[in-house]
Amino acid sequence: MLLSISLIVLCGMFLGYICKKIKLPSLVGMILTGILLGPYVFNLIDDSILNISADIRKIALIIILTRAGLSLDISGLKKIGRPAVLMCFLPASFELLGMLILGPLLLNLTLLEAAILGSVLAAVSPAVVVPRMIKLMEEGYGNGKSIPQLILAGASVDDVFVIVLFTTFTGIAQGGSASVMEFVNIPVSVAAGIAIGLIVGWILSKYFSVFHMRDTVKVLIILAVSFLLVVMESILQDKLKTPITFSALIAIMFIGIALRKHLRDVSDRLSSKFNKLWVGAEIFLFVLVGATVNISYLGGVGVKAIVVILGAVVFRMLGVFVCLIKTDLNMKERGFTMMAYTPKATVQAAIGGIPLSLGLACGDITLTVAVLAIIITAPVGAFAIDLSYKKLLRKEKWDA
């Protein structure tokens, strides 16, 4: 295990640095590191790490979502309004619609198989998008019209919506039926996550005010509470199978938002701590995402799968454009928002192989297209954001 950790860190940092020197996002090098070190190429990552890969990736997501929450104000989220609500589900719905059209036409899928594939692909990647939006907020780009905040808010809920759809469609494919309660649970889980996060954040702010401790200890407490929330969500969904649950990741982000509201100075210091944690977490996240990529699947994909992915992304961008109707964003700003909402990585890596493990007929093609979507959209989307934000967005102070 120690050798694997050393290789992940050193090789991930090295290839990430090389990519930055040639003007590519560092995550490209990290994903490539995972592909090379992973079980499908040189097989240099210990099985003990691969077995907990999903948990490690979730820890990295917890770190960056907490960091995002510590950078957001509730007043700023209120300012965004209707477009932020639409961004939570409309772009993913458009992308799913695109897959329902293109999947049967180009990949010979049934409508249900296309729906399963669409629900795998339709999630935006918080791991790619969130750190970049935080960077924009810190540098002041797009803050005047709350563009990074808009993308952050939508990306945090987008995954919840898509995963519920995926669970529903795979259940139908296994002989079940769609449950109305599962769709009711989407807004309920989001609202419950927000409420729980705000309450926990308020409690932590009072605790930190009364008991003085080092900021490092505060970080450890926040992480421990976040892990508990993830476990509670899992127990409610998987073990108790309650019809109504909550989104732990949204709750985690709103813990940060509540801390910023009640303890502004403390939240700034904690944000700096989480930023340092992200340096290491980012390496493990993207290297382990790369390790899930089975390049042997890519040989038989063909051009049609690439066309389907790109076509679905176009539908997604159209959905973002619809969300921005009647806003004060100019065409450059709208173009940036549409482009910034396309990267895919973590959700596709997490659920892309499930249809195959369930023995569904569309399992192979779903996994293959999911892998290809990561390889195409994660680096290209990240590169597009990094290259264009200074040209398309105005640098200005955000008036929250």
Phi and psi for 376 in degrees, rounded to 5?
A: -85, -55
Q: Identify whether the C-beta of residue 261 lies closer than 8 Å to the C-beta of residue 5.
A: no
Q: Is the pLDDT of residue 397 over 70?
A: no
Mean pLDDT calculated for residue range 324-342: 94
Average pLDDT value for the chain: 88
Which residue has 């159209």 as its token pair? 318
pLDDT band at 242 (very low <50, low <70, confident <90, very high): confident
pLDDT at 13: 96
Q: Is the pLDDT of residue 153 over 60?
A: yes
CB atoms within 10 A of CB 178: 12
pLDDT at 400: 45
Q: Which of 41-45, 213-217, 257-261, 362-366 has the lowest mean pLDDT?
A: 362-366
Q: Which of 38-52, 235-249, 256-270 has the lowest mean pLDDT?
A: 235-249
> Which candidate, 201, 188, 183, 216, places its Cα nearest to that of 251?
201
Q: Cα(341)–Cα(321) distance, rounded to whole angstroms?
A: 11
Angle at 128 between CA 306 and CA 382, to 5 degrees: 60
* This prediction's pTM: 0.81
Q: Cα(184)–Cα(192) distance, rounded to whole angstroms?
A: 12
Q: Is the pLDDT of residue 353 over 90?
A: no
Percent share of the chain, pLDDT over 70: 94
Q: Is the pLDDT of residue 399 over 80?
A: no
Q: Cα(59)–Cα(177) distance, rounded to whole angstroms?
A: 33
DSSP, residue by residue, 329-347: --HHHHHHHHHHT----HH
24 bridge partner residues: none
Helices (H), the chain: 2-21, 26-37, 47-51, 53-69, 74-80, 82-87, 90-107, 111-121, 126-139, 147-173, 180-210, 215-234, 248-262, 264-291, 302-323, 331-340, 346-351, 354-357, 363-392
Token pair for residue 264?
A: 């502004």
Query: What tens digit of pLDDT does each residue of 120-141 get?
Result: 999 898 888 988 999 999 899 9
Q: Cα(18)–Cα(14) distance, rounded to whole angstroms?
A: 6
CA distances from 18 to 24, 283, 333, 351 (A): 8, 14, 30, 30
141 bridge partner residues: 395
Q: Identify whether the C-beta of residue 236 lies closer than 8 Å to the C-beta of residue 242.
A: yes
Q: Which of 29-38, 73-82, 108-117 has the lowest mean pLDDT?
A: 73-82
Q: Is the pLDDT of residue 22 over 80?
A: yes
pLDDT at 214: 94
pLDDT at 292: 78
Query: What tens digit of pLDDT does each residue of 246-302 get?
Result: 888 889 989 999 999 999 999 999 999 998 999 999 899 889 888 877 777 666 667
Token pair for residue 175?
A: 């002989």
Which residue has 């005010």 as its token pair? 209
CB atoms within 10 A of CB 3: 10
82 class by beta-carbon count within 10 Å (0-12 exposed, 13-18 middle, 19+ buried): exposed
395 bridge partner residues: 141
pLDDT at 276: 92
pLDDT at 321: 96
pLDDT at 345: 82
Mean pLDDT calculated for residue range 323-346: 93
Q: Cα(185)–Cα(246) distance, rounded to whole angstroms?
A: 8
365 bridge partner residues: none
Q: Cα(378)–Cα(369) distance, rounded to whole angstroms?
A: 13
The 8-class DSSP code of residue 300 comes to G
pLDDT at 245: 83
Highest averaged pLDDT of the listed ranges 26-40, 64-78, 283-297: 26-40
Q: Is the pLDDT of residue 319 over 60?
A: yes
- Give the contacts of 48 (CB within 8 A, at least 6 positions apart): 1
* Contacts by residues 352-359 (CB-CB < 8 Å, ≥ 24 positions apart): 352/120, 352/292, 353/292, 354/166, 354/170, 355/116, 355/120, 355/170, 355/173, 358/170, 358/173, 358/174
Percent share of the chain, pLDDT over 90: 49
pLDDT at 77: 61
